[in-house]
């Protein structure tokens, strides 16, 4: 039997001279009808370009297929080489035989057209439907991706829906004409982990219902286990390993595959939690940081003729303490208030109520040199127009110090310590990679000898293998300088590697807090359970995801609203969760 898709020796280049700028260097694979192939790789591995070459969207991004064939078996057993097909032929194939969904659902739908119009378009183009028929078909398509209240949602424009909903709309659009192949290019990377689980479940279910084949592109090898039949690992434009799911995950041959599986953090349900620090009662009296009833509310602006409808309760009554040499991870999804908590502790946001104290005394503003912060985006947190020496000097100048030989010596020593070459003092940020920049940010945070470092999604923007190295560095620095870390993250696998304790935030409140191993292996609150079961893992093969369409609750409360006092239940010496009604 001929495969649905057979790619052989595909080579793709970019720009005026594609041969010199080759991004995909001879990739071959086959895909049978109904099969799912996962393409795994880091940024720049050529995985997306490979996928875009199949439906030839790569042409519009300045790419050019240098050589190779992309044979698609069409209905009636004719074979078409997509690599040599003309644009009019390709237009007929896209959408009807090959559907595609993309990474950013927020930007992938046309902002000025209603989602109904955008779904109907596929039916008009490939099925010749018009008017009421097209609308009815669009409604069915939305029903199929389990969007409640589909008829009304057809009239919405994309800005009225959340990211997860939009990705469902994208899937509905791509699958409108029942293509036999769906290309999914990192479809869940921009989404929260529980939403990711919903989308994965939906894809798996739709695959079973329609019998379509799928190419699933991801950087997260953990995500592969749940959905793929075959896996192809790409590095620097080449397919370094491919085979059945079990073969690749359990018996990896290529060193890069082993590296991805071994060195990269995977979620292990608490088994990989750190055990190098245990709280003892004596120390408890003098924490590095004590947060007490921290509350941050933002007033919602009213209209000219309207009163303010209330406040966003971004952070509500948060308490915790952080010991020297300890890492407390604050985990939660977007909108949970985790970043606001971090920003409030650094004085970037004014708390509505509550406060915090360090061992040096109360912090009223941002000027306490004993607390420093590392931000999420290493590209935005360094001023592109300042040299590295000026960047490192800034905290010293701000604290009233002078840039003298001693300071310079400290800069050089810290750069060496975080693994950067010493001669980089005279360079500008754009001359560094993302991982190196994050190391620079860490060095900058250490310039003033802080006792507490707040890390706000500090490794989230990095490639997975770089993530692992930066995490290692953070652990070493913690031991060496006796630092306390407040580690804010959405990524459970990363948190498991660095946290001693975990606080789970949901809708602005802590719902569960305790030692990492206990929380991760034995979650008690329903949200924590949901969060942890949503984390992809290489252990969970072809798992049957439960479909769950719950939405994050609104945080806007009417004026004068006070949440009820929380009731806590204990589950072990250092593990408690909020009681649920």
Partner 1 sequence: MLRAIVSHPSGRIGGTIVVIYVVVALLGMFDVTPHNPLQQYRIDRLHSPNASYWMGTDLFGRDVASRLMKGVGQSFFVGFCSVTLATLAGTVLGLTAAWFGKAWDGLVMRIMDVLLAFPAILLALLIIAIAGPGTWTSIAAIAIVYTPIFTRVVRGPALSIKAREFVDAARTFGSSRRYILTRHLLLNLVAPLTVQVTLALAWSLLTEAGLSFLGLGTQPPASSLGLMLADSRNLMETAPWLLIFPALAIMISILGFNLLGDALRDIFDPRTRRSAA
Partner 2 sequence: MSYLTRRLSTFPLVMLGVSILVFVAIRMVPGDAITAMLGTEAGLLTPAQREALANYFGIDQPIAVQYWHWLLGVFRGDLGISVTYGKPVLGVILERFPLTLQLALMSMCVALLVGLPAGVFAATRNEKMSDLAVRIFAMIGQSTPNFVVGLLIIYALSAGFGILPTMGEFTPLLVDPLRNLGQMILPAVTLGFAFAASVTRISRSAMLDVLSDDYVRTARSKGVPKRSVIWRHALPNALIPVVTLSGVEFGYLLGGAVLVEQIYALPGLGRLVLDAILQRDYALVQGCVLFIAFNFMVVNLIVDLVYVALDPRIRLGEGG
- Quick one: what does residue 307 bind among partner 1, partner 2, none, with the CB cut-off 5 to 8 Å set by partner type? none
CA distance 503 to 328: 7
Q: Determine, following the binding rule CB under 8 A, whether residue 434 of this chain makes contact with partner 1.
A: no
Q: Is the Cβ of residue 104 or residue 574 nearer to partner 1 in the bound state?
A: 104
Q: Is the Cβ of residue 39 or residue 531 nearer to partner 2 in the bound state?
A: 39
The sign of the torsion formed by the CA atoms of 51, 56, 62, 68 equals positive
Enter the tokens of residue 418.
């975080």
Q: Determine, following the binding rule CB under 8 A, whether residue 130 of this chain makes contact with partner 2.
A: no
Segment contacting partner 1 (CB under 8 A): 107-115, 441-449, 542-550, 567-575? 441-449
Residue from the set 386, 473, 475, 552 that interacts with partner 1 by CB under 8 A: 386
Instruction: List the beta strands (DSSP E) in 254-364.
Output: 289-299, 311-322, 327-331, 353-358, 361-362
Closest to 230 in 3D by CA, of 3, 464, 533, 466: 3
Q: How many residues bind partner 1 (CB under 8 A)?
A: 30
- Quick one: what does residue 346 bind among partner 2, partner 1, none, with the CB cut-off 5 to 8 Å set by partner type? partner 1
Q: Determine, following the binding rule CB under 8 A, whether residue 22 of this chain makes contact with partner 2.
A: no
- Quick one: what does residue 157 bind among partner 1, partner 2, none, with the CB cut-off 5 to 8 Å set by partner type? partner 2
Burial of 410 per CB tally in 10 Å (0-12, 13-18, 19+): middle
Q: How many residues bind partner 2 (CB under 8 A)?
A: 36
Give CA 361 to chain center in angstroms.
36
Decide if 241 contacts 253 (C-beta within 8 A). yes
Q: Determine, following the binding rule CB under 8 A, whether residue 444 of this chain makes contact with partner 2.
A: no
Decide if 563 contacts 352 (C-beta within 8 A). no
Q: Determine, following the binding rule CB under 8 A, whether residue 373 of this chain makes contact with partner 1.
A: yes
Decide if 510 contacts 531 (C-beta within 8 A). no
Decide if 395 contacts 372 (C-beta within 8 A). yes
- Quick one: what does residue 365 bind among partner 2, partner 1, none, with the CB cut-off 5 to 8 Å set by partner type? partner 1
CA distance 277 to 274: 8
Residue from the set 399, 547, 556, 566 that interacts with partner 1 by CB under 8 A: 399
Burial of 195 per CB tally in 10 Å (0-12, 13-18, 19+): buried
The sign of the torsion formed by the CA atoms of 519, 545, 158, 304 equals negative
Nearest approach, Cβ of 141 to partner 2 (angstroms)?
12
Decide if 190 contacts 103 (C-beta within 8 A). yes
Q: Determine, following the binding rule CB under 8 A, whether residue 283 of this chain makes contact with partner 2.
A: no
Helix (H) or strand (E) holding 530: helix 526-534
Nearest approach, Cβ of 304 to partner 2 (angstroms)?
5
Q: Is the Cβ of residue 202 or residue 371 nearer to partner 1 in the bound state?
A: 371
Segment contacting partner 2 (CB under 8 A): 88-96, 311-319, 350-358, 554-562? 88-96
Place of tokens 């208030």: 337
Residue 533: CB atoms within 10 A of its CB come to: 17
Closest to 453 in 3D by CA, of 275, 301, 327: 327
- Quick one: what does residue 96 bind among partner 1, partner 2, none, with the CB cut-off 5 to 8 Å set by partner type? partner 2
Site string for partner 2, 224-263 (x = CB under 8 A): ----------------------------------------
Decide if 264 contacts 468 (C-beta within 8 A). yes
Q: Is the Cβ of residue 366 or residue 556 nearer to partner 1 in the bound state?
A: 366
Decide if 398 contacts 434 (C-beta within 8 A). no
Q: Determine, following the binding rule CB under 8 A, whether residue 43 of this chain makes contact with partner 2.
A: no
Q: What is the dihedral of CA 114, 116, 119, 120, to 10 degrees?
A: -120
Segment contacting partner 2 (CB under 8 A): 102-110, 312-320, 328-336, 492-500? 102-110
Residue from the set 30, 394, 472, 574 that interacts with partner 1 by CB under 8 A: 394
Residue from the set 39, 82, 129, 170 that interacts with partner 2 by CB under 8 A: 170
Give, as ranges, the residues between 171 and 230 that touch partner 2 (CB under 8 A).
173-174
Closest to 314 in 3D by CA, of 577, 554, 578, 491: 554
Q: Is the Cβ of residue 454 or residue 534 nearer to partner 1 in the bound state?
A: 454
Nearest approach, Cβ of 302 to partner 2 (angstroms)?
7
Q: Is the Cβ of residue 286 or residue 367 nearer to partner 1 in the bound state?
A: 367
- Quick one: what does residue 366 bind among partner 1, partner 2, none, with the CB cut-off 5 to 8 Å set by partner type? partner 1
- Quick one: what does residue 547 bind among partner 1, partner 2, none, with the CB cut-off 5 to 8 Å set by partner type? none
Enter the tokens of residue 32.
């049978």
Q: Determine, following the binding rule CB under 8 A, whether residue 358 of this chain makes contact with partner 1.
A: no
Give me the residues paired with residue 215 across strands. 37, 183
Q: Determine, following the binding rule CB under 8 A, whether residue 535 of this chain makes contact with partner 1.
A: no
Segment contacting partner 2 (CB under 8 A): 7-15, 55-63, 280-288, 544-552? 55-63
Contacts of 132 (CB under 8 A, 6+ apart): none
CA distances in angstroms from 205 to 12, 50, 89, 225, 554, listed in the order given: 33, 25, 30, 15, 29
Q: Determine, following the binding rule CB under 8 A, whether residue 55 of this chain makes contact with partner 2.
A: yes
The CA-CA-CA angle for residues 219, 221, 225, to 5°, reads: 135
- Quick one: what does residue 399 bind among partner 2, partner 1, none, with the CB cut-off 5 to 8 Å set by partner type? partner 1
Q: Which residues bind partner 2 (CB under 8 A)?
A: 55, 57, 60, 87, 90-96, 99-100, 102, 104, 107-113, 121-122, 125-126, 157, 159-160, 170, 173-174, 301-304
Residues that bind partner 1 (CB under 8 A): 343, 346-348, 365-367, 369, 371-373, 375-377, 380-386, 390, 394-395, 397-399, 441, 444, 448
């Amino acid at each position: 039997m001929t495969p649905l898709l057979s790619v052989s020796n595909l080579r793709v280049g970019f720009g005026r001279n594609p041969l010199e700028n080759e991004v995909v260097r001879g990739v071959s694979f086959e895909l049978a009808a109904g099969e799912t192939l996962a393409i795994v790789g880091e940024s720049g591995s050529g995985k997306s370009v490979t996928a875009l070459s199949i439906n030839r969207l790569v042409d519009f991004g300045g790419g050019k297929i240098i050589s190779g064939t992309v044979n698609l078996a069409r209905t009636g057993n004719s074979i078409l080489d997509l690599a040599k097909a003309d644009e009019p032929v390709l237009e007929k194939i896209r959408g009807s035989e090959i559907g595609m969904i993309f990474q950013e659902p927020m930007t992938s739908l046309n902002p000025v057209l209603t989602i109904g119009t955008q779904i109907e378009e596929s039916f008009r183009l490939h099925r010749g439907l018009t008017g009421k028929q097209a609308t009815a078909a669009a409604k069915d398509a939305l029903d199929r991706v389990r969007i409640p209240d589909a008829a009304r949602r057809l009239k919405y424009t994309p800005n009225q829906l959340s990211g997860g909903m939009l990705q469902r709309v994208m899937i509905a659009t791509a699958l409108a004409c029942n293509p036999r192949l769906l290309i999914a290019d990192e479809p869940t990377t921009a989404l929260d982990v529980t939403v990711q689980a919903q989308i994965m479940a939906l894809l798996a279910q739709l695959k079973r219902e329609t019998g379509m084949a799928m190419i699933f592109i991801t950087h997260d090898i953990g995500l592969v286990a749940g959905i793929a039949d075959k896996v192809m690992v790409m590095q620097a434009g080449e397919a370094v390993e491919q085979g059945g799911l079990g073969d690749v995950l359990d018996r990896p041959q290529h060193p890069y595959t082993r590296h991805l599986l071994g060195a990269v953090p995977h979620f292990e349900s608490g088994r990989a939690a750190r055990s190098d620090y245990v709280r003892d009662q004596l120390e408890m009296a003098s924490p590095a940081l004590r947060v007490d009833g921290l509350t941050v509310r933002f007033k919602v602006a009213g209209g000219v003729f309207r009163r303010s409808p209330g406040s966003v309760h971004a952070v509500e009554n948060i308490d915790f303490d952080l010991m020297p040499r300890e890492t407390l991870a604050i985990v939660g999804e977007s909108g949970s208030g985790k970043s606001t908590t971090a920003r409030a502790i650094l004085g970037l946001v004014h708390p509505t109520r509550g406060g915090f104290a360090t061992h040096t005394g109360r912090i009223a503003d941002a000027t306490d040199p004993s607390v420093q912060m590392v931000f999420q985006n290493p590209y935005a947190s360094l001023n592109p127009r300042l040299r590295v020496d000026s960047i490192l000097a800034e905290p010293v100048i701000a604290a009233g110090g002078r840039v003298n030989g001693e300071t310079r010596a400290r800069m050089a020593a810290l750069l060496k310590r975080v693994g950067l070459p010493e001669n980089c003092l005279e360079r500008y940020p754009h001359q560094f990679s993302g991982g190196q920049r994050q190391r620079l940010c860490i060095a900058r945070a250490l310039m003033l000898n802080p006792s507490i470092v707040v890390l706000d999604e500090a490794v989230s923007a990095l490639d997975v293998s770089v993530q692992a190295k930066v995490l290692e560095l953070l652990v070493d620095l913690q031991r060496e300088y006796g630092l306390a870390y407040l580690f804010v993250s959405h990524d459970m696998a990363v948190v498991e590697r660095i946290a001693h304790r975990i606080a789970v935030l949901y809708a602005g409140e802590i719902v569960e807090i305790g030692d990492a191993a206990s929380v991760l292996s034995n979650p008690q609150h329903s949200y924590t359970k949901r969060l942890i079961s949503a984390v992809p893992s290489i252990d969970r093969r072809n798992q049957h995801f439960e479909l769950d369409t719950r939405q994050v609750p609104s945080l806007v409360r009417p004026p004068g609203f006070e949440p009820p006092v929380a009731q806590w239940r204990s589950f072990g010496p250092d593990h408690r969760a909020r009681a649920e009604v």
